[in-house]
A = this chain, B = another copy of it.
């Protein structure tokens, strides 16, 4: 820390991304990436776009917007594309959270919401999930704060119904409700159609998981055109060319290749069910994950121990050091081969 840093930032706890070690090859099941390469069409468009890298990318992402409008049944001005969905989330924090009313989200969820709240000095109300990690929508009814809900949630993978989402949105007409649907394609129910009915709903999505583009950094938010125009105000005050040329092309290719998208998604769901059954046989307890990862606990074995022993054997998973989560590991659903490698390593350990 330098002596020049703003006082308000000195005590900030920053986000810790999952580890990306380079010292050896791992079976990497720790950051919820797709085991499948990008769509061949996405790859081809991306490589073509690279040849014109000397020219700025389109700040308006017009081609992407047109494709998204068709894919999601929305208008072109009801979507904004961002440098990963993290950027969409912080745009939303910057635009809609103020120091008076504050933000509300579950105590167990994507770790970045708390980081954004701290960065902007927004008071954060962290509402405990129930003991089984389920979310009670009634906790958010009429809460009068900007609400952030990951659906499915991380790191549990558990989902709530769209009718629960609607209850929260409807009962908080003075505040924006942000629904983070990073994992929705693997078995959740999307709230996107509700944006036509409610002007206070913002749905955030990503190409990192179900579209195999984590390394391209592409996210987006869908909502009422006035909400989107507010997010654009943040974008054009910080980084108008936020999405580069290759990523715009790759995203376009991925959006247009519906067949490949469905193939990968179905395979991942199939592998998730396969892995879940095997883990249960090994004595693990699981949450009901609708995401591309499982959240698993073996009675009497701390999550950290499993993590460390698996790492020794060349398999990376993620564990969390907080009291409610330290019994668990979060395991990305990989390819069948990766899944079997994990299972083999687990059998040796236990």
Which residues of A pack against B, CB within 8 Å?
1-7, 9, 12, 14-18, 20, 22, 28, 31, 33-38, 42-43, 46-47, 49-60, 62, 83-84, 86-87, 90, 94-98, 115-116, 118-119, 175-176, 199-200, 208, 212-217, 224, 226-227, 229-230, 233-234, 236-247, 250
Shortest CB distance A276–B (Å): 22
Known contacts A238-B86, A239-B83, A240-B86: A4-B215 contact under CB 8 Å: no
Tell me whether B54 and A246 are in contact (CB under 8 A): no
Q: How far is the CA of A16 from the CA of B245 in the complex (A)?
A: 19
- Check A247 against B244 for contact (C-beta < 8 Å): yes
Chain B residues within 8 Å of A58, by CB: 20, 22
A237 to B36, CA, bound (A): 29
Q: Contacts A12-B237, A244-B217: A212 and B53 contacting too (C-beta < 8 A)?
A: yes
Which residues of B sit under 8 angstroms from A224, Cβ to Cβ?
Answer: 2
| A56 and B215 contacting across the interface, CB-CB below 8 Å | yes
Q: Decide: B241 and A84 in contact? CB cutoff 8 A.
A: yes
Q: Are the CB atoms of A5 and B246 closer together than 8 Å?
A: no
State whether A54 touches B38 (Cβ < 8 A).
Answer: yes
Known A-B contacts A59-B20, A227-B2; the reply to A246 vs B86 at CB < 8 A is no
Residues of chain B lying within 8 A (CB to CB) of residue A200: 4
Q: Is the CB–CB distance between A215 and B95 below 8 Å?
A: no
Q: Which residues of B sit under 8 angstroms from A34, Cβ to Cβ? A: 54
Per the bound structure, the CA–CA distance linking A126 and B282 in Å amounts to 68
Query: Smallest CB–CB gap between A268 and chain B, Å?
Result: 12
A43 and B51 contact, Cβ closer than 8 Å, known pairs A86-B238, A246-B247? yes
* Cβ-defined contact, B199 with A242, below 8 A: no
- Residue on B with the closest CB to A146? B4
Tell whether, in the assembled complex, residue B226 and residue A57 are in contact, meaning their CB atoms are under 8 Å apart.
no
The 7 closest A-B pairs by CB, nearest first: A215-B245, A14-B236, A2-B226, A54-B212, A217-B244, A38-B53, A246-B246
Contact check, A54 vs B213: say whether CB atoms are below 8 A apart. Answer: yes
Q: Give 13 CB contacts A-B under 8 Å.
A: A14-B236, A20-B56, A20-B59, A22-B58, A43-B51, A46-B50, A46-B246, A47-B47, A54-B213, A57-B214, A86-B239, A116-B238, A217-B244
Partner of A244, one of B9, B22, B42, B215: B215
Instruction: Decide: A37 and B15 in contact? CB cutoff 8 A.
Output: no
Q: Is the CB of B50 within 8 A of A33?
A: no
Residues of B within 8 A of A213 (CB): 53-54
Known A-B contacts A84-B239, A84-B241; the reply to A9 vs B176 at CB < 8 A is no
Chain B residues with Cβ below 8 Å from A56 are: 17-18, 20, 31, 33, 208, 214-215
